[in-house]
A and B are shown apart, each in its own frame.
Chain A
Amino acid sequence: MRVRALAVRIVNQFLRDKRTLALLFLAPLLILSLMKLVFGGQAISPVIGIIDAPAALTDKFEQLNAEAEIVLYDNYDIAKAALQAGELDAVLQAGSGIPELMLEGSDPSVNRAILLLVQNATRIEGGHNAPVVNYLHGGPDLAPFDAFGPVLIGFFSFFFVFLLAGVSFLRERTSGTLERLLATPIRRSEIVAGYLAGFGIFTLLQATLIAWYSVHVLGLHMAGSIGSMLLINVLLSLTALTLGTLLSSFASSEFQIIQFIPIVIVPQAFFSGLFNLDAMNPWLQKLSLIMPLTYGADAMQGIMLRGEGWSDLQLDVYVLIGFSVLFALMNVVALKKHRRM
């Protein structure tokens, strides 16, 4: 009852603030569109598995002095399994006859690099037997943006909800309304639940709009179901919401909320899959495990590029729910600073 009244109040406040609404809904779309227009490729070192490789061919790869790592197999099934597990970027079957190349396919820039390399290697060999190319995921027309678009979708949902939730809760505190609210019999947990419900409505709308726009207007590759995409997006936003309100307890002005962006948001962008982390110290790479965006981005990529279903997503879903619950409980405790009962 109180939770509902609080949620309704938040909705009403938002409806009055057209600019903030626009920020929440349109800014992610604008930035996604810009990124699609702007983004190019990057340097890559793919791992290629080769089956039945004639010595001449491996020599050719050596000669080309490629950045690629070559792993030799003598059984197609083992190589295919490694490809599915993500250990390989491609498998080249190069016995007698026409070579067959199977690409993992999720990362278009890796695809392009491998295609170029294999074409060069096999051309020197004979000239006319260009390989037959297959894709495990995606296809030849997957663009770079298709690959990191899913990460960006997660990132922007997270970013804008974090900012808005942080600022709203801060205003509640600095305007004195939190003190007045805490002078009513509302429980601390009801305040947190009310915020979750009120923002949850906008979060759901935002997630729907972003998903629809990315797939139907920007034409991002979409292998999975839009329902799972929505689920992940909403969960990610709820994590952002609870984290935003929690951190706003440690800020005393809107400006100090902005200061959390380089500390909390930007590192997550670096760690969540926008950039290749292979070159980083493995110990440092582990940092990504405590970042909610890692799980959101992983799930979004899985859904959109590889069409992953529930069995692949459930771990990410549980971890995101875990983060939200943890942050929400911490919020309830943090409110003790203002009222102990």
Chain B
Amino acid sequence: MRSMSDVSQICPAIELQDISRAFGKRKVLSGITLTIPKGELFGLLGPSGSGKTTLVKIMTGIDRADSGTVHMLGETMPQLKMLQTFGYMAQSDALYNELTGKQNLAFFGAMFGLKGRALESRIQYAAGLVSLNEHLNVQTSAYSGGMKRRLSLAIALLHEPKLLVLDEPTVGIDPVLRKSIWRELVHLTKQGITIILTTHVMDEAEKCDRLGLIQNGKLIALNTPEAIKLNTGSSTLEDAFIALGERAGERE
């Protein structure tokens, strides 16, 4: 027998049913069905322009699908109250360049209803995670590309979201820092936080619980990294994806 709270417990973090999206006449996503359980570290891969960003925007309700349904934690999307639930890091660093790193963090923190000491301690935590503590009082226009990316990630983590949606979070970040950020992401999933990210980096993909491969707007593979390698008989993920891509291309 299940109690009510169990029912909400078993709701997946994200549930996509038959999602399609076109820009004008160009079909960008077609018939994507995908379920991501809670606490999973899910990676979306695919060639540039294959529709990864479009798909994560639809998951969060920032963009709308032309057809199909989206559920986040059991709730039909898009919904205003669900915006409190997830943290989103866009592919481009949307920062206020006239402001300091701290002012950026404080502003977005306030948008999520954080204030006073709670806000201050969350700023310290998030900035610490991406090693930006010493640069918080510098204007962001003076940040390097990697620093901007890290600040953008810190903003997404600020309000302790249950779900993190990160669009290419580690682009332009050096290997040492990238390693420590990944350690923290894995640590977060252990606490039950769901992370959905897009990436082009294969050694990052290896660390995901499950991977989805998108090509020409279709989901052509969905499995754990090991199973994907096994099914294609490849020794590396890179080879596996090249093989999968070719197979999908032949079928079309």
Q: Other CB < 8 Å A-B pairs besides A1-B115, A4-B110, A12-B98, 13 of them?
A: A13-B99, A175-B97, A176-B90, A176-B93, A179-B90, A180-B90, A183-B88, A184-B111, A185-B80, A185-B84, A339-B62, A340-B64, A341-B78
The tally of CB-CB contacts under 8 A between chains A and B is 72
Residues of A within 8 A of B81 (CB): 185
Q: Check if B80 sits within 8 Å of A1, measured CB to CB.
A: no
Given contacts A16-B99, A341-B78, contact A1 B113 (CB under 8 A): yes
Residues of B within 8 A of A5 (CB): 106-107, 110-111
Q: Check if B78 sits within 8 Å of A180, measured CB to CB.
A: no
Q: How far is the CA of A238 from the CA of B30 in the complex (A)?
A: 46
Given contacts A13-B99, A16-B139, contact A341 B111 (CB under 8 A): no
A interface, CB within 8 angstroms of B? 1-2, 4-6, 8-9, 12-13, 16-17, 175-177, 179-187, 339-341
Q: Check if A184 sits within 8 Å of B108, measured CB to CB.
A: yes
Q: Check if B80 sits within 8 Å of A341, measured CB to CB.
A: yes
Does B236 have its Cβ within 8 Å of any Cβ on chain A? Answer: no
**Which residue of A is nearest B77, CB measured?**
A341
Residues of B within 8 A of A6 (CB): 107
Residues of A within 8 A of B139 (CB): 16
Does B137 have its Cβ within 8 Å of any Cβ on chain A? Answer: no
Residues of A within 8 A of B61 (CB): 341
Residues of A within 8 A of B60 (CB): 183
Q: How far is the CA of A179 from the CA of B61 in the complex (A)?
A: 11
B interface, CB within 8 angstroms of A? 60-62, 64, 78-81, 83-84, 88, 90, 92-99, 103, 106-108, 110-113, 115, 139, 155
The 10 sampled A-B contact pairs (Cβ below 8 Å) are A4-B110, A12-B98, A12-B99, A175-B94, A181-B111, A183-B62, A183-B88, A183-B90, A185-B81, A340-B64
**Which residue of A is nearest B87, CB measured?**
A183
Residues of B within 8 A of A2 (CB): 110-111, 113
Given contacts A1-B113, A17-B98, contact A341 B62 (CB under 8 A): no
Q: Check if B83 sits within 8 Å of A183, measured CB to CB.
A: yes
Residues of B within 8 A of A181 (CB): 111
Most A CB contacts (10 A, CB to CB) among B64, B95, B110 go to B110
Q: Check if B113 sits within 8 Å of A13, measured CB to CB.
A: no
Instruction: Give the secondary structure class of B's interface.
Output: loop
Residues of A within 8 A of B107 (CB): 5-6, 8-9
Closest 9 CB pairs of A and B: A5-B110, A176-B94, A184-B111, A180-B94, A16-B98, A13-B98, A185-B83, A177-B94, A183-B88
**Which residue of B is nearest A3, CB measured?**
B110
Residues of B within 8 A of A180 (CB): 88, 90, 94, 108, 155
Q: How far is the CA of A275 from the CA of B80 in the complex (A)?
A: 50
**Which residue of B is nearest A186, CB measured?**
B111
**Which residue of B is nearest A16, CB measured?**
B98
Choice from A13, A175, A187, A341 contacting B79 with Cβ under 8 Å: A341
Q: Check if A177 sits within 8 Å of B96, measured CB to CB.
A: yes
Nearest chain A CB to B10 CB, angstrom units = 26
Q: How far is the CA of A16 from the CA of B79 in the complex (A)?
A: 35
Nearest chain A CB to B113 CB, angstrom units = 7
Nearest chain A CB to B197 CB, angstrom units = 16
Choice from A4, A12, A182, A184 contacting B103 with Cβ under 8 Å: A12
Residues of A within 8 A of B84 (CB): 185
**Which residue of B is nearest A188, CB measured?**
B80
Q: How far is the CA of A6 from the CA of B64 in the complex (A)?
A: 26
**Which residue of A is nearest B88, CB measured?**
A183
Q: How far is the CA of A338 from the CA of B45 in the complex (A)?
A: 26
Q: How far is the CA of A175 from the CA of B93 in the complex (A)?
A: 9
Q: Check if B103 sits within 8 Å of A185, measured CB to CB.
A: no
Residues of A within 8 A of B115 (CB): 1
Given contacts A181-B111, A185-B113, contact A9 B62 (CB under 8 A): no
Nearest chain A CB to B223 CB, angstrom units = 29
**Which residue of B is nearest A182, CB measured?**
B62
Q: How far is the CA of A179 from the CA of B167 in the complex (A)?
A: 14
Q: How far is the CA of A9 from the CA of B108 in the complex (A)?
A: 10
Choice from A13, A184, A187 contacting B96 with Cβ under 8 Å: A13
Q: Check if B94 sits within 8 Å of A184, measured CB to CB.
A: no
Nearest chain B CB to A311 CB, angstrom units = 43
